[in-house]
Structure 1
Amino acid sequence: MTDETGDSAGSDEEGPVDERVDGGDGGDSDADAVPDDSEDAPEDLSIDRFHEALEAEERPVATASEVARRLGTTQAAARDALGALVDRGDVDRLDVEADPVVFYPRDWGALASRERVVVFPKRREIVVDRPTQYTRARLSQFANLVDTTGTEPGTRGYLYRIRQEDVWAAPFDDADALVGALRSVLPRRYEHLEAWVRDQWRRAHRFRLYTHADGYVVLEAASENLMGNVADQHLDDDHLRAPISDTEAWVNEDAVAVVKRALYDAGYPVEDDRDLETGDPVEIDLTTELRDYQQTWVDQFLDRKSGVYVGPPGSGKTVAAIATIAAVGGETLILVPSRELADQWREELLEHSTVDPADIGLYHGGTKEVRPVTIATYQIAGMDRHRSLFDSREWGLICFDEAHHVTAPVYSRTAELQSKHRLGLSATPVSETGSEEEIYTLIGGPIGADWDALFEAGFVQEPEVEIRYVPWRDELAESEYAAADGRERRRVAAENPAKIEELRYLLAAHRDKKALVFVEYLDHGNAIADALDAPFISGETPHHERAELFRRFRAEGADAEDAGDDLDVLVVSRVGDEGIDLPNAELAVVASGLGGSRRQGSQRAGRTMRPTGSALVYVLATRGSSEEEFAQRQMRHLGRKGVRVRETNVAE
């Protein structure tokens, strides 16, 4: 089926064909499977391939002819390969008189507990039972984690769905590489699914913006039909000034962001190949050596001229951004969500580059300086009375730290700066409104290694995450919860008094670690701080006091101890969620705040991620309350990124 543009139908997530699925028994999983192309089984047939043949036979034993049929090879080749497995000790054989020889795995437990992948190609869904870390990391590159089931370690099942936007944003150079990644985790080939993926990839390369020799912006379509049936129908008259040819149109420069978003919503992401401004030159060189993956990020950005560095906290996104500033070489505006981050950015610039301190300006509620490299808060930069100061400077690069803030209405005006190089930084560019597409259309596509690759390479320590379900131990609090509703019920569950006892237990069990305790409510934060004899930092804490407490928490070594200057425990509200660099935090405990977003859960877990040492995250959820679901939802996003999450019921 084709639409008027000549492209395969599918601008909606599910076309008419995809709605005709088999019943819930998984009957469509083999509908378009393609057998292996090889005529002979490899001599080093793996035990996993043998397990796959047994699963296909739905028997714990198989003959050589059955294995040959399932693997698409000859009986002789299968017999030889199985003999090699027998010689290695992975498989046993049983010779029965007057019956064929049967083969079975020596380790039955491996067959029962191994990863299983079931594919529903027409629904574009993938169910994985006991997935390996490799499989989860691979799937996170092109699929969306929908749900998880199971509570015991090693038994969790995962449901993934491949959406249009997942294919469009997949970090691959071409459709063949993407399909190769898909095949690497699926049990066999699925022509219908692969064709859909290729079609969606093609859709992401049908429109582009470029700069005409005379300096104006042109929208180019891959065909006359696309220009007439897609662009003309989805763009208003004031978006395009005039047609240039059957496939090109002169774009109103003020409408570039709107054009990109409108075509994205129509199912056609736009490639942005415009000649962007570089701004007045600024003297800055990087003084820190980049890791290989950081250099790859920078190279990809310079090629694309826009993008979002996506990686876990501790992966060095800020250093990569400073390298990008030096490579672009033009005046730069850095937008951040808080004054603390603005101050931190200034310190990072001075530590990792040769920039002149006099060339760095801070523009927020405390000070207002516009310099060649200016660091401003989103809120200030978006105000009308300050906007003209930023518009008057010829910025060569706009850097959006914690890039998800561009999706919030109060900050959205900063995303109109479409004529500049645009760089975003985010560990988890996801918002609860599902508007991650705004990040990619207004700033640029994702750039970065998947989290799991950084864990495996040892660049970032993978955190150990545990959800601990805490019972009610106070009858009055439990009765108050039962009588409450709505937000009040959520608050009572968050402030379950038993959580303080659990906090004391966890901190005592890890008394050698620097710990952050996250809370949602001021009263709860104050109560925990009093119980633990620890400082509480909230939005009401004066800026200078926050800075001093963060400095003391960072203090390490004998000198800090002798001076009585160091802090081992900090209780923090949402001010600790985003970007604050606390590299020596070894333990994070989320005591409340489970009604927040998935991004918030990832950020809090991320406060313990760094290149070396252990990293522990405990999430406390009141058993039998809505916090159970909230905790699982927040941690599910970490699971998608390759982080293992376990769950524990705390004893009554």
Structure 2
Amino acid sequence: MAYRPENPLIVQSNHELLLEVDNPRYEAARNELARFAELVKSPEHVHTYRITPLSLWNGASAGLTAQDVLETLEEFSKFDVPFGVQQSIQDTMRRYGLVKLVAPSGVRAGRAGVRGRRGAGRGSGREVDYLILESADRSILEEIAHHPRLRPYLVERLDATRLAVDARWRGHVKQVLVHIGYPVEDLAGYVEGAPLPIRLRATTRAGRPFGLRDYQQEAVRAFWMEGSERGGNGVIVLPCGAGKTIVGLGVMEKASTQTLILSTNVTAVRQWKAELLDKTTLEEDQIGEYTGEAKEIRPVTIATYQILTHRGPEDTDYPHFALFNSRDWGLVIYDEVHLLPADVFRITSEIQARRRLGLTATLVREDGREADVFSLIGPKRYDVPWRDLEKSQWIATAECFEIRVPLDESLRLSYAVAEDREKFRIASENPAKLPLVKALVEHHRDQQVLVIGQYLSQLEEVARLLEAPIITGRTPNAERESLYGDFKAGRLKTLVVSKVANFAVDLPDASVAIQISGTFGSRQEEAQRLGRILRPKAGDNVARFYSVITQDTSEQRFAAKRQLFLTEQGYRYAIYTGDRAMSLLAAGQELSADGEAVSLSFSAAGSRSGRGRARA
């Protein structure tokens, strides 16, 4: 067996990859591994990745071959890649596209409407449109034809290499196939939708020059694929602040069709509308808002996930699902697709004849439904590492700090006897955090500072301490927009916000975020909160992200898990004790991202992996 000690990687037979952080080739290896493997743990010296079928299929959808993957592993590995791993990678990646879904010759993709209830029409005996599942491998088609989960969607066996499936269940067929290990390549095409000429402006309505950046153009091309049936569905992954909305506008220009845009909240809906009016040729009467406050259905309609999944006390189904049939949409855009509600997956499975674009900063879903995003929205079409955009100054340079404060003496007994969930809340709301938060805000008094938290009572206390306004889920939209406007204009320097500001809030001048509590170990939330401050800045173009946590508690363990995604992107957290941070701030000194930076992990067993090199 060959041994190459200069390399940073060990490939294990269980499909885990161990990557040495202190190796000169670490960064190059990490960038390559991110294309086809998932980061699992990131203690300070060795990071653990795992190769999974879904990670390999996303790589395959982006053009990687099994040979590309194996060459990368051989290039960086200390030892030979185990033969079983080689075989598994080849077999798994070979499965992508082994089964294809096509339309009968000369036939459109099929009905794209949404029924009121799942199962309506199945087995009714009436004539239905059909699509064809085909594979050159007869044994695979035989296996699929006899699988009990697929049988309800079959119409008939056409021949040895083709099955007819009910076109109404196109999405359900794809879900089944990805779960049994045969990710289908959907080539059945799309309905074009009602035409709507859309052009991007060379100069915005506000009078600024405008054009897509090079990576935004690449993202549009990767999704659109010249309008062929091989494109038109999938997910674009870009960091917050990198212009995912602009990519959406670029795709809309390509499609030039009536478009339904789904987003997270009313603020995000209005930001989409503002961008459309500023940067495209669309007029105001062509853009509708479909939210709890307005029900406008126009050629471009922007709706919230909340209104789609809203049901009254007497509703047996979702009354607003009718929006999907209200126009001849040719394109559906899912903003923040990692937050797509489970109920919207059901609708999405039934509109597979529409082009579908997902936009997100992270494919991580806390409910584990990444496979449904893959099969129903589409595979990852484009991804660019955050640090690459940072180096090109398209997003701000981020410095991340974790500051650990002791649990307040008055809470030690309550914490000791509490249940696990209550332990986390006690640690999160630790009043010992408050002096540090005040010192950080005072230190950055000339900058735009967001203080972000989870618990309303804690946020209200912080707002009183800082004499700063607060935005929560209870804040009326008009008041939210007024406060956001004051913050963006610089009239307001500090804003206290709940998790309503995690998503799709455009605050370009925010340069400091202080996180005082979060949602357990949510990796996606950590990414979104850092993203609030990543838009390019004047001057040094540096953003600072502080996470204030209670040491030696469950909050510290969950914080390590939260930081996992950002570690994958190449960020490290500098660790400080509360006393050390306070002494530096009192002396007017900056906390340094150098020298004390460590990577963190939260192991599967829940134990802390290393305490790093934090100063006492």
Query: What TM-score comes out, normalization by structure 2 length?
Result: 0.82
- Other-structure match for 2:546: 618
**Corresponding pairs, count:** 529
Structure 2 distance, partners of 1:414, 1:261, is 11
Q: CA deviation at 1:412?
A: 4.1
Equivalent residues of 1:379, 1:410 under 8 A apart: no
Counterpart selection for 1:332 from 238, 256, 259: 259
How many Å apart are 1:315 and its aligned residue?
1.2
Counterpart CA distance in 1 for 2:29 and 2:76 is 6
> Does residue 222 of the first structure (1) align with residue 156 of the second (2)?
no
1:518 aligns with 2:452: yes
CA distance in 2 between partners of 1:568 and 1:355 (Å): 34
Structure 1 position 628, deviation (Å): 0.6
Structure 1 residue 147 corresponds to structure 2 residue 82: no
Distance 1:182 1:569 in 2: 47
Displacement after TM superposition at 1:245 (Å) = 1.9
* Structure 1 counterpart of 2:410: 476
Counterpart AA for 1:335: L
Q: Alpha carbons of 1:571 and 1:531: their partners in 2 closer, same or farther (altered >3 Å)?
A: same
Other-structure match for 2:68: 177
Alignment of 1:30-41 (within 5 A): none
Query: Does structure 1 residue 126 correspond to structure 2 residue 18?
Result: yes
Local SS of the residue matching 2:152: coil
Is 1:637 aligned to residue 562 of structure 2?
no
Inter-partner Cα distance in structure 1 for 2:50 and 2:395: 28
Q: Measure, in 2, the Cα distance between the counterparts of 1:133 and 1:645.
A: 16
Query: Is the aligned partner of 1:323 residue 2:245?
Result: no
Equivalent residues in 2 for 1:545-624, closer than 5 Å? 545-556=479-490, 566-612=491-537, 613-624=541-552
Q: Are the counterparts in 1 of residues 8 and 76 from structure 2 also a CA contact under 8 Å?
A: no
Q: Which of 367, 384, 387 is the aligned partner of 1:433? A: 367
Taking the aligned partners of 2:9 and 2:576, their CA distance within structure 1 comes to 26
Q: Spell out, residue by residue over 1:71-120, the C-alpha distance to the aligned partner (whole angstroms, 9 max, x if none).
A: xxxxxxxxxxxxxxxxxxxxxxxxxxxxxxxxxxxxxxxxxxxx733332
Deviation at 1:498, TM superposition (A): 1.4
Aligned match for 1:203, one of 95, 115, 126: 95
Amino acid at match of 2:390: F
Aligned positions of 1:284-299 closer than 5 A: 284-287=198-201, 288-299=210-221
C-alpha deviation, 1:410, in angstroms? 6.2
Show CA shifts across 1:353-410 (max 9, x none).
1112111011110000111100011232345322224313111000000102335236
- Distance in 1 between residues matched to 2:145 and 2:465, nearest whole Å: 62
Structure 2 residue corresponding to 1:260, chosen from 174, 179, 182:
174
Of residues 438, 458, 467, the one that matches 2:393 is: 458
**What is the deviation of 1:547?**
0.8
Q: Distance in 1 between matches of 2:420 and 2:138?
A: 54
Share of identical aligned residues, percent? 34
Displacement of 1:325: 0.6
In structure 1, what is the equivalent of residue 322 of structure 2?
388
Distance in 1 (alpha carbons) for counterparts of 2:183 and 2:415: 47
For residues 546-568 of structure 1, give each alpha carbon's deviation from its aligned partner in whole angstroms, at most 9, with x where no partner exists: 11111111114xxxxxxxxx111
1:186 aligns with one of 56, 71, 77: 77
CA distance 1:379–1:395, shift in 2 (3 Å): same
After superposing the two structures, state which structure 1 stretch, 478-487 or 182-191, moved more. 182-191
Point out where structure 2 has 5 or more consecutive residues left out of the alignment. Answer: 108-129, 202-209, 226-230, 311-317, 581-616
User: In the alignment, which residue of structure 2 is the partner of 1:369?
Assistant: 296
Please say if 1:246 is aligned against 2:199.
no
Residue 329 of structure 1 deviates from its aligned partner by 0.9
Counterparts of 1:184 and 1:321, CA distance in 2: 37
Q: 1:555·1:567 contact (CA, 8 Å) conserved in 2? A: yes
User: 1:242-282, CA deviations, whole angstroms, 9 ceiling, x for partnerless residues?
Assistant: 12221111221121111111110111111111220121111
Q: Output the CA distance in 2 between the equivalents of 1:444 and 1:579.
A: 22
Structure 2: how far apart are the matches of 1:621 and 1:409?
Answer: 34
Partners of 2:305 and 2:348 in 1: CA distance = 7
- Report deviation, 1:594: 4.6
The answer to whether 1:157 aligns with 2:34 is no
Structure 1 unaligned runs (5+)?
Answer: 1-29, 36-51, 57-114, 151-155, 557-565
Aligned to 2:29: 135
For the pair shown, the structure with the greater C-alpha radius of gyration is 1
Q: Deviations over 1:532-557 (max 9, x none)?
A: 1111110011111111111111114x
SS at match of 1:282: coil
C-alpha distance in 1 between matches for 2:479 and 2:282: 28
> Larger RCO: Structure 1 or Structure 2 (Cα < 8 Å, ≥ 6 residues apart)?
2
Match of 1:359 in 2: 286
Q: Using the alignment, how far apart are the partners of 2:512 and 2:451 within structure 1?
A: 9
- CA gap 1:314/1:569 in 2 versus in 1, 3 angstroms: same
Q: What is the match of residue 39 of structure 1?
A: none
Kept after mapping to 1: 8 A contact 2:11/2:82: no
- Per the TM alignment, residue 429 of structure 1 is displaced from its structure 2 partner at its CA by 1.9
3-state SS, counterpart of residue 586 of structure 1: strand
Equivalent residues of 1:406, 1:415 under 8 A apart: no
Partner of 1:99: none
Q: 1: distance between equivalents of 2:171 and 2:476?
A: 38
The ranges of structure 1 where at least 4 consecutive aligned residues each deviate by more than 6 angstroms after the TM superposition are: none
**The residue matched to 1:217 in structure 2 has which SS?**
strand
The more displaced of 123-132 and 512-521 is 123-132
Q: CA deviation at 1:162?
A: 1.0
Pairs within 5 Å for 1:5-24: none
Which one of the candidate residues 150, 154, 157 is aligned to 1:236? 150
Amino acid corresponding to residue 582 of structure 1 in structure 2: L
Change (3 A) 1:212 1:463: same
> More deviation in 185-194 or 236-245?
185-194
Q: Out of 482, 504, 512, which is 2:438 matched to?
A: 504
The alignment yields a C-alpha RMSD, in angstroms, of: 2.1
